[in-house]
Amino acid sequence: MSRCLILFLLFSSFSVQGKMVKKIEKVMYYKYMFGHLHQNPSKYSTSLTTIGCAHPLRVYSVKTSGSKPRMVFNKEWYFVKAGPYEGYIRSQQLSRRKPKCFQDKYPKFVDQFDMEISDMYNWGRLYDLYLFKRTRVR
């Protein structure tokens, strides 16, 4: 009897936590050469996939049970979908319009790199760790 009660409570707690309603808000494009879709809203979290410049991403607003719908997480991360993967990406890495990409402008030059998957991954990690800020020198 106690085992049944414990299993019931365990499954009911998962069903309450698991209710997440997603709604597509807009489509945005990745604007740097390579980047990553992250599992959590942190630049150190696990990478789900590597994306390239001008890759379209569907931006979702997420509503969990008992809360308001929200689109921005940790002040700068969007919840997006890229192909079969759903994850987080920084808002400053996205553009509303399709950007003009270096690899589209100079395809013969980029093809000479003979990039492998690991090279694209490392280049994407580099863009994750960059800080794009303006300095004020007096």
Q: Read off the pLDDT band of 52 (50, 70, 90).
A: very high
Whole-number average pLDDT of the chain: 83
Whether the pLDDT of residue 6 is over 50: the answer is no
Q: Read off the pLDDT band of 12 (50, 70, 90).
A: very low
For residues 41-63, give the mean pLDDT: 92
Q: Quick one: which of 131, 123, 99 has its CA closest to 35?
A: 123
What is the CATH number assigned to the segment(s) 20-100+113-127?
Answer: 2.30.30.40
Strand-pair partners of 90: 77
Q: Read off the pLDDT band of 129 (50, 70, 90).
A: confident
Task: Please check whether residue 46 is in contact with residue 37, taking contact to mean a CB–CB distance below 8 angstroms.
Answer: no
62-87 pLDDT per residue, tens: 888 878 888 888 788 999 999 999 99
Task: Please check whether residue 56 is in contact with residue 46, taking contact to mean a CB–CB distance below 8 angstroms.
Answer: no
Whether the pLDDT of residue 135 is over 60: the answer is yes
pLDDT at 113: 85
